[in-house]
Every structure is written in structure tokens, then in C-alpha cells.
């Protein structure tokens, strides 16, 4: 068992309320750390060494202050191939003799498995992050940073340096790191991930255009936060998928999410069974060719969102009727959406319970959160503003933002889905645009 005796009171209180007592840190180090990288791992014997190798190339002084904590996990009902792969991973971790301070949590062996009801990446992350809280050097004046990473990712050699510098220099509480999916040219998987990453970056650009508070990307392996934010948010959730999306939403309500673009995480682009949705499943779906993946939300949706946020988040305080009237002037489907979300009742409660403009402004952001933002976009998609060709959508959004795009798609020679070389140009253009024009650390 891990002792809570020497921990700060706020950490003790959290652990006594939320931590799970069934798992412990193996190969634990006596020394304490400023940074801890938590890596869930299920059937990742082939991938995990590459992840650790990329971390080994980081600054040695920072590595000395960093613990790598791998959560080897499977459920009781997992396939025997998964369990066998995890046994090999545990043997690898036990025999590791490299540059990293490496520990692991066995949530895989007989009697230590994750319960079937909750087994998944959310629970694995939670177990790792909660136990990580016991290994920080709380006497140090440095930020106590939790890094979320995945076993099939790699990172750049300045990963630790750039993140710790950004957190300590700017007093950050939460951030996402810029990313670029790995892929091998001229493979079906490359075609799939290029399409998906363009879609993700288009969505983020649309949120930037609309000036949404929740304009960050939601990729779990890029999340970083300090211990205080993790605890204030109630820790990681147990979701089998989408745990990153909902955790980010919770910490965004504490402090705005910062984007660190001076280093990179390289997520995998493989197809995967590990989560019911997300990158792996999107790649699987693309490869199956069951539907057209080259579609993006109608740019008009982001225009409606922009007008709504400009009105709603202004410091003017109106009653529910006036707000709904204005929403209907912007777009009738916006008004219908707000009614479907019980806006009238919720707003009356907010207005009654909050006296200051500052508190009401905060409640506006809390109510129209990341989940409702995406729900509105989906509502508009299904009610008058259907998705359009992905590359047309990107072109129109860039035009709306007055961003010059030199990529040429000749309609006579290029079909709706341009060749892969043109697609790569779009991807590189969007990557550079988001890093150079819309990053927080330039």
C-alpha cells in the first residue's frame, strides 16, 4: 500500500475520497519527482519500447526529475492474446535498465485485472494518475506536472523541456501539446489518418473562428495539467472512451486550456479495437469504406456559433426571453437547440443564484460548454446545414477567416477528393497555420 502520511492535506483528502485501493506501484523509486508521465498500456509490447526510447532522448537533468509510470491493464474477460502480450510487457518493464525512472502498475495479472464493468482507458489513466499523486516532491517549488501519454505514441526530444518551461514560466495549470500523427506514405492507413487529421484540424479552426472558449484539440496523449487542477476537477473519469474529452472540459472550467506548440507528440495512426470511438476506430471505419469520410461540418455552422457566442458572452445580462429572441434572430435552429437544452429553466436558475456580472459570465461559459458546443454543431448539421465536401469546407472556412490558401484544386482535373499529394498539402498547411497563427506560445 502507498502511504499518504507525508502528502499535503489537499492530496490526502482527494485520495481518501476518490482513489482506488486495489493497485500499487511496482518497481517504485524512493526519490520523489516534479513530473510524472502516466502511460496506459494494453497489448502494447511491440509499441511501448518505441515510446520509452523517444522519452530517453529528452534532457537528462529533466529525466532525473521525471517518473514514467506505465499502467499495464486488461479486464478479467480480455482475450488470452491480450493477457499474454501484457505479461511480456511486465517482464520487459521488470528488466528495463535504461535512462528513465521507470515504474509500473500491474492491472493485468490474475486478481489484479480491471473490473469488466469499468475496464478501459479512463480507468487505467485514473489508476495511474491517482497513484502518481503519491510520488511528487511537494517540497519543490517547481510545478507538479502530470503528463498524459499513450503507449503507441512517441515524443520529440524537447518534449519535457518545452512543457516544463511553459508551465513554470507562464504559471500554467492545464494545456494540450501540439501533435502530428505518424504515418507511412503510400499506405491505406496514411490515407485514412490524413483525412482524419484534416477533419480534426478543420474543426479546431472552426472553433477558433467562432472564438469559442473551448477551442483546443481533444487528443488524450497531448494533455498536461498540474496536480492542483487534476484534484480540483475530481480526477480522471472511468469512461471507456472519450475520457480525454470530458476531462479537458472539466479542467477548462477551472482555467483556460493553453496550447503548447513548441514541441510535438506523435500519436499513432493505426486502426485499433482498444476504444469504441476515437482515432483507432475512425481509421478502421475509413479502411472499411462503409461511408464517405471526406466530409466536414458546414462552415455556416461556425458562423452561427460565432454570432451566438458574440452575443451570449457579452457582458450584457438579459432575461431568458430576450436571449431566446436574439438567438432566433441569429438562426431559428439555434433557438430550437437552446429550447431543447432547457435553456429557459437553466438561465432563470443562473440569474437567480448569481448576483455579480463576473459570476454570470462564468456561468455562461460553464453552461455553453464544450459538449453543448459540439451538440449545437451536430444539431445544425442535422437541421438545415448538412456536412459538405471536406476540402470545400476547409477552403470556405479559410476564406471566411481571410486566410490566403495557395493550394490549387482544379475542378477539371481534381475530383471532389483530390489526390493524396494535394491532401498532404492541406494537412501541412493546417498544421502550420494552427501552430504559427493560433498557438498560445508564439
My answer on whether 138 and 245 are in the same domain is yes
Mean pLDDT computed over 325-343: 98
Residue 280's pLDDT band, with cuts at 50, 70 and 90, is low
Q: Do the domain assignments include residue 47? A: yes
User: What is d(CA 152, CA 177) in angstroms, rounded to the nearest whole number?
Assistant: 16
Mean pLDDT computed over 263-267: 96
My answer on whether 106 and 54 are in the same domain is yes
- The pLDDT score that the predictor gives to residue 274 is 39
Element (H, E) at 289: none
Q: Yes or no: say if 349 and 197 are a contact pair by the CB < 8 Å rule.
A: no
Nearest to 118 by CA among 262, 243, 298: 243
Q: Do the domain assignments include residue 412? A: no
**CATH number assigned to the domain comprising residue 224:** 3.90.550.10
pLDDT at 285 over 80: no
My answer on whether 142 and 263 are in the same domain is yes
- The pLDDT score that the predictor gives to residue 316 is 83
- The pLDDT score that the predictor gives to residue 288 is 65
pLDDT tens-digit profile of 117-174? 988 999 999 999 999 999 999 999 999 999 999 999 999 999 999 999 999 999 999 9
**Phi, psi values for residue 224, rounded to 5°:** -140, 140
Residue 431's pLDDT band, with cuts at 50, 70 and 90, is very high
Q: Yes or no: say if 138 and 8 are a contact pair by the CB < 8 Å rule.
A: yes
User: What is d(CA 223, CA 220) in angstroms, rounded to the nearest whole number?
Assistant: 6
My answer on whether 15 and 64 are in the same domain is yes
User: What is d(CA 24, CA 2) in angstroms, rounded to the nearest whole number?
Assistant: 7
My answer on whether 262 and 128 are in the same domain is yes
pTM of the entire structure? 0.93
Q: What is the separation, in whole angstroms, between the first and last Cα of the chain?
A: 44
My answer on whether 88 and 142 are in the same domain is yes
- The pLDDT score that the predictor gives to residue 223 is 97
Mean pLDDT computed over 194-218: 96
Residue 276's pLDDT band, with cuts at 50, 70 and 90, is very low
Name the most confidently modeled range: 1-10, 184-193, 251-260: 251-260
Q: Do the domain assignments include residue 201? A: no
pLDDT at 289 over 80: no
- 433's grid cell: 497555420
Residue 318's pLDDT band, with cuts at 50, 70 and 90, is confident
Q: Of 382, 402, 424, which closes a domain?
A: 382
My answer on whether 35 and 81 are in the same domain is yes
Q: Do the domain assignments include residue 193? A: no
pLDDT tens-digit profile of 361-373? 999 999 999 999 9
My answer on whether 28 and 154 are in the same domain is yes
- The pLDDT score that the predictor gives to residue 268 is 82
Residue 185's pLDDT band, with cuts at 50, 70 and 90, is confident
User: What is d(CA 23, CA 26) in angstroms, rounded to the nearest whole number?
Assistant: 9
My answer on whether 177 and 117 are in the same domain is yes
Note down the domain range covering 329.
Answer: 299-382
Interstrand relation of 145-148 and 223-226 (parallel, antiparallel or unpaired): antiparallel
Q: Do the domain assignments include residue 316? A: yes
Q: Do the domain assignments include residue 142? A: yes
* More confident call, 436 vs 397: 397
My answer on whether 175 and 117 are in the same domain is yes
* More confident call, 145 vs 287: 145
Average per-residue pLDDT for the chain: 92
* CB neighbourhood size of 138 (10 A): 14
How many structural domains does the chain have?
A: 2
Q: Of 382, 400, 433, which closes a domain?
A: 382
* More confident call, 175 vs 190: 175
Q: Of 278, 309, 331, which closes a domain?
A: 278
My answer on whether 37 and 146 are in the same domain is yes
Cα angle vertex 216, ends 210, 219, to 5°? Answer: 140
Q: Do the domain assignments include residue 199? A: no
Q: Where are the alpha helices (DSSP H) in 211-290?
A: 227-232, 243-252, 279-288
My answer on whether 229 and 94 are in the same domain is yes
- The pLDDT score that the predictor gives to residue 277 is 41
- The pLDDT score that the predictor gives to residue 283 is 64
pLDDT at 336 over 90: yes
Q: Do the domain assignments include residue 292? A: no
Cβ neighbors of 131 (< 8 A, separation 6 or more) are 2, 19, 23, 24, 25, 69, 105
Mean pLDDT computed over 223-245: 92
Element (H, E) at 38: strand 35-41
Question: In the chain, pLDDT over 70 holds for what percent of residues?
Answer: 93
User: What is d(CA 217, CA 374) in angstroms, rounded to the nearest whole number?
Assistant: 13
Amino acid at each position: 500500500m502507498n502511504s499518504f502520511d507525508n502528502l499535503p492535506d489537499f492530496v490526502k483528502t482527494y485520495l481518501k475520497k476518490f482513489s482506488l485501493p486495489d493497485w500499487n506501484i511496482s518497481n517504485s523509486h524512493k526519490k520523489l519527482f516534479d513530473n510524472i508521465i502516466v502511460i496506459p498500456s494494453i497489448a502494447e509490447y511491440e509499441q511501448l519500447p518505441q515510446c520509452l526510447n523517444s522519452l530517453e532522448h529528452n534532457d537528462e537533468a529533466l529525466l532525473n526529475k521525471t517518473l514514467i509510470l506505465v499502467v499495464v491493464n486488461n479486464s478479467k474477460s480480455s482475450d488470452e492474446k491480450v493477457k499474454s502480450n501484457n505479461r511480456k510487457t511486465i517482464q520487459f518493464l521488470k528488466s528495463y535498465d535504461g535512462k528513465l525512472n521507470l515504474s509500473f502498475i500491474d492491472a493485468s495479472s490474475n486478481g489484479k485485472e480491471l473490473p469488466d464493468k469499468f475496464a478501459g482507458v479512463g480507468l487505467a489513466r485514473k489508476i495511474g494518475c491517482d497513484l502518481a499523486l503519491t510520488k511528487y516532491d511537494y517540497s519543490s517549488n517547481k510545478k507538479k506536472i502530470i503528463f498524459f501519454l499513450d503507449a503507441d505514441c512517441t515524443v520529440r526530444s524537447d518534449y519535457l523541456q518545452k512543457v516544463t518551461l511553459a508551465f513554470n514560466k507562464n504559471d500554467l495549470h492545464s494545456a494540450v501539446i501540439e501533435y502530428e500523427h505518424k504515418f507511412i506514405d503510400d499506405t491505406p492507413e496514411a490515407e485514412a489518418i490524413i483525412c482524419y487529421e484534416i477533419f480534426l484540424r478543420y474543426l479546431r479552426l472552426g472553433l477558433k473562428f467562432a472564438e469559442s472558449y473551448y477551442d483546443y484539440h481533444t487528443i488524450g496523449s497531448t494533455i498536461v495539467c498540474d496536480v492542483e487542477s487534476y484534484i480540483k476537477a475530481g480526477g480522471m473519469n472511468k469512461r471507456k472512451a472519450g475520457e480525454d474529452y470530458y476531462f479537458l472540459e472539466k479542467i477548462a472550467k477551472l482555467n483556460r486550456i493553453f496550447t503548447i506548440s513548441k514541441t510535438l507528440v506523435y500519436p499513432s495512426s493505426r486502426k485499433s479495437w482498444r476504444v469504441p470511438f476515437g482515432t483507432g476506430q475512425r481509421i478502421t471505419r475509413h479502411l472499411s469504406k462503409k461511408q464517405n469520410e471526406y466530409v466536414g461540418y458546414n462552415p455556416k455552422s461556425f458562423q452561427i456559433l460565432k454570432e451566438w457566442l458574440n452575443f451570449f458572452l457579452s457582458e450584457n445580462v438579459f432575461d431568458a426571453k430576450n436571449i431566446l429572441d436574439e438567438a432566433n434572430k441569429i438562426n431559428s435552429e439555434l433557438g430550437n437547440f437552446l429550447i431543447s437544452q432547457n435553456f429557459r429553466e437553466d438561465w432563470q436558475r443562473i440569474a437567480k443564484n448569481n448576483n455579480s456580472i463576473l459570476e454570470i459570465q462564468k456561468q455562461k461559459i460553464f453552461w455553453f460548454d464544450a459538449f453543448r458546443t459540439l451538440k449545437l454543431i451536430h444539431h445544425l448539421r442535422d437541421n438545415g446545414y448538412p456536412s459538405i465536401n471536406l476540402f470545400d469546407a476547409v477552403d470556405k472556412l479559410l476564406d471566411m477567416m481571410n486566410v490566403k490558401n495557395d493550394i490549387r484544386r482544379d475542378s477539371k482535373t481534381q475530383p471532389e477528393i483530390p489526390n493524396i499529394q494535394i491532401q498532404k498539402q492541406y494537412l501541412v498547411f493546417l498544421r502550420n497555420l494552427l501552430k504559427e497563427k493560433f498557438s498560445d506560445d508564439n
